[in-house]
Amino acid sequence: MSDTAQPSFKDKMMKALGKFSGSRFVRAIMGAGYSIIAFSIIGSMFLVLTVLPQVITAKGFVDFYNNTIGRFSNMYTVIYNATMGIIAIFFAGSFAYNYADIYRKEENLLLDPLNAVFLTLMGLFITVPQLVWKSGSTIFINILKNNNVIAGGYSVSGSGLTRIGATGIFTGLVVAWLTVQIYRFCIKHNWRIKMPASVPSGVANSFSALIPGFVVAFTIGIIDIILIVLGTDIFQVLYIPFSFISAIADTWWGFLIVIFFIHFLWWFGIHGATITSSFYQAIVLANMADNVKGGFHVFAGDPINAFVTIGGSGATLGMAIFIAFLARSKQLKELGKLELIPAIFNINEPLIFGLPIVYNVGLFIPFICAPLASGAVAYVAIATHMVPKIIIQQPWPTPVGLSGMIATASWQGFVLSVVCAVVAFLIWFPFIRHYDTAIYKKEQADAIKA
């Protein structure tokens, strides 16, 4: 009989999730997601200027708006389109840069991340034009109607080229992955033009991308031609599975599953928000852009930080306030005072690791159920149009109330955010009170022994 202990389910799960979160692909997606946050927020802020008369409908304000800053509303739209309107370019380019840079460092390859970006953009733009196979040739589609403008194969709208906007994020991601893999393969097998050592590095790097560039263009071009002959193209084929996944995530049960996994992973000490967001970030960006154009999605922008994890993962704002002012135990009261300010800005690592919540069986239920409850309330409120849909990406540390108001550009969003925080606290209350009482009794017993 072996004395070697078998790893527990918890150890196996942590090892598997750790391996997944540490994979190059996931790290590159997370890097891309972080890098485009600024652009989505910039676009959202200018969108706020465009929709102000819809938020503040008082006649005096509307007249003031129309006669002052409202005169430049088209320019606000231009700036929005220069960010969210070309979000596929930002996302694909950033992913390619991060992905190539990871390979460059970890495999010690002569990969230039900037070359990876340019090769990716070339590959992406190969997929942008719409062509059909007619009379034995590829023909650009031309449709000039009020609701459908395609000129020379390029579909355009008020936001510019439609395929480099939010709908192109998924295609851009796949093209970026394929491009970096081709680039890596070529460099790894010395399929590159080598320049003399005396040639400046910038010139040498540009020529080193020549052969990989031909391979990328040839590969994507051949794939697209085959699909065009079959009556479709790369963009349409890739959009089908991702739109299906997006549709699932936008359901009430899909939304709650996302929330559940965030917190289930966090309870094991794994950053659940980081891992799950690598899956859904492209979806919420695309949905938010579609909402601006007249679509309707609940799972758009950043609903998690606006309405669900208020105070941090676990929706702990109300609980933090409770232990700071009403806890009987000295331990919880001091921890609450330490956490109070960070909680306002949705930061609660002191609670997760200091209370602690991680591996704490007694707090597992509220940690999971409080955000599920606030998420359910938020979903119902938006899905039933009691609260406007999300059209703006608010910074994730935005405090309760203000986060919901910015996200939905409405006072109803402010109210919903506060209601969600209260609902979450009602779930937390009996559990944290019981936990506080237990610790208080232990403190009293230790004081008597001393």
| pLDDT mean for each 10 residues of the chain (450 residues) | 58 69 84 81 83 79 90 89 87 94 92 93 94 91 82 82 84 94 92 70 71 94 94 87 80 92 84 76 85 90 93 94 93 91 89 87 93 97 96 88 92 96 96 93 83
Amino acid at 386: M
9 found inside a domain: no
Tokens of 448: 């008597």
Q: In this structure, are 58 and 146 located in the same domain?
A: yes
Check whether residue 285 and residue 405 sit in a common domain. Answer: yes
- CA-CA distance, 445 to 141, in Å (whole number)? 81
Indicate if 342 and 439 belong to the same structural domain: yes
Give CA–CA dist 165/159, Å, rounded: 8
What are the structure tokens assigned to 134, written together? 């007619």
> How many structural domains is the chain composed of?
2
Domain stops at, among 243, 277, 308: 243
Spatial CB neighbours of 140, under 8 Å, sequence gap ≥ 6: 129, 130, 131, 152, 153
For residues 407 and 199, what is the distance between their CA atoms, to the nearest angstrom? 52
- Could you tell me if residue 15 is inside a domain? no
Residue 444 counted as domain residue: yes
Do 120 and 168 lie in one domain? The reply is yes
Any domain includes 12: no
H-helix or E-strand spanning residue 242: helix 234-249
One domain for residues 300 and 238: no
**Whole-prediction pTM:** 0.76
In sequence order, which residues have a C-beta less than 8 Å from that of residue 78 and are 6 or more positions away? Answer: none
**Structural domain of 120:** 27-243
- Which tens digits make up the pLDDT trace of 46-87? 888 887 887 677 888 889 999 999 899 889 888 888 888 888
Closest to 243 (Cα-Cα) out of 274, 296, 282: 282
If you write DSSP's letter for every residue of 337-377 in order, what string do you get?
Answer: HHHHHHHHTT--HHHHHHTT-TT-GGGHHHHHHHHHHHHHH
Domain boundary among 209, 243, 277: 243
Q: Confirm whether 22 is domain-assigned.
A: no
List, in order, residues 6 or more apart from 175 with CB less than 8 Å away: 92, 120, 123, 124, 127, 220, 234
* CA 89 to centroid of chain Cα atoms: 15
What Å distances lie between residue 22 and 32, 100, 267, 441, CA to CA?
15, 15, 19, 42
Do 177 and 65 have their domain in common?
A: yes
pLDDT at residue number 448: 82
> 114 and 145, same structural domain?
yes
Pair (184, 283) in one structural domain: no
Q: Are residues 261 and 205 in the same domain?
A: no
Residues 299 and 324 in one domain: yes
The pLDDT value given to residue 1: 45
User: Per residue in 162-209, pLDDT tens?
Assistant: 888 877 888 999 999 999 999 999 999 888 777 666 666 666 666 778
Residue 394, in any domain of the structure = yes
Mark whether 267 and 157 lie in a shared domain: no
pLDDT value of position 239 = 79
Domain check: are 320 and 266 in the same one?
yes
Dihedral sign, Cα of residue 341, residue 343, residue 348, residue 353: positive
Q: Is residue 400, in this structure, part of any structural domain at all?
A: yes
Number of alpha helices (DSSP H) and beta strands (DSSP E) in the chain:
20, 6
The domain boundary, picked from 194, 210, 243, lies at: 243
Residue located via tokens 């965030």: 262
